[in-house]
Amino acid sequence: MNASNRESALRPLGLGEVLDRAVNLCVKNFIPLTAIFLVYAVPLAVVQYFASQNSARVVQALVDFGMHGGKDVDALSKQLSAGSDFSAWTPILLLLTVFVYPLPVAALIAAASGFYLGRPVSLGAAYRTAVSRWPHLIGVNIMYGLAGGVLYLGVILVGIVFGLGIGLLYALSSTAGITIGIVVAVIFVLFAFGFAIVATLAVQMSYFGCVLEGQNLAEAFVSGLRRVFVGIGLRRSLLVGAAFFAIIVGIDIVAGVGSAVLVGFLRSTIAGTVYATIIEVATAAFTTAFITIFYYDLRVREEALDLQIAAQAAQTGAQLSTT
- Quote the pLDDT of residue 54: 53
Residues contacting 121, CB < 8 A, separation 6+: 32, 110, 111, 114, 115, 129
Q: Is the pLDDT of residue 292 over 50?
A: yes
Instruction: Check pLDDT > 80 for residue 259.
Output: no
Confidence of residue 2 (pLDDT cuts 50, 70, 90): very low
Question: What pLDDT does residue 172 have?
Answer: 75
| Distant-in-sequence, close-in-space partners of 38: CB < 8 Å, separation ≥ 6 | 281
pLDDT digits (tens, 9 = 90+) for 75-89: 545 544 554 455 677
Q: What is the mean pLDDT of residues 157-165?
A: 84
pLDDT in tens, 13-63: 998 999 999 999 999 999 999 999 999 988 888 887 777 655 544 444 444
Tell me the average pLDDT of the chain: 81
pLDDT higher for 76 or 310? 310
d(C-alpha 320, C-alpha 152), whole Å: 55
pLDDT of residue 96: 81
- Quickly list DSSP for 31-60: HHHHHHHHHHHHHHHHHHHHHTHHHHHHHH
Overall average pLDDT of the 126-147 stretch: 93
Instruction: Tell me, letter by letter, the H, E, C secondary structure of 250-292.
Output: HHHHHHHHHHHHHHHCCCCHHHHHHHHHHHHHHHHHHHHHHHH
Q: Is 122 helix (H, G, I), strand (E, B) or coil?
A: coil
* pLDDT in the model for residue 203: 94
Closest CA to 309 of 2, 21, 5: 2
CA torsion, ordered 33, 38, 39, 42, to nearest 10 deg: 170
pLDDT value at position 165? 81
Average pLDDT for 94-115:
91
pLDDT in the model for residue 1: 43
Contacts of 273 (CB under 8 A, 6+ apart): 45, 48, 49, 259
